[in-house]
Amino acid sequence: MNPQFDKILKELMKNHRLNQLQLAELLGVRQSQISNWLNGKSLPGYYSIKLLCEKLKVSANELLL
C-alpha cells in the first residue's frame, strides 16, 4: 500500500469537503478509525478501501498506488 495514503486521503476529503466525522458516517466506521488512517497509525481494510473508492469516486489504483 502507498506510504502516502494519508496524504491522498486528506486531499480527497478536502476535494469532497468532508471532515473526519462526515467521512466516518459515510463509511459506517468510527471517527477514530479515520483519525488513525490520517495520522498513519493504521490502514483501512479491504471493505473500507472498497467503500472509500465508491464514495470518493476514485479507483483503487488512485487511492493505493
- Under CATH, what is the fold of the domain 5-64? 434 Repressor (Amino-terminal Domain) (1.10.260)
The rounded average pLDDT for each run of 10 residues, N- to C-terminus, in the chain (65 residues) is: 86 97 97 96 94 96 88
What pLDDT is stored for residue 3 in this prediction?
A: 74
Other C-beta atoms closer than 10 Å to the C-beta of 44 total 21
- Kindly list the domain boundaries of the chain, sorted by start residue: 5-64
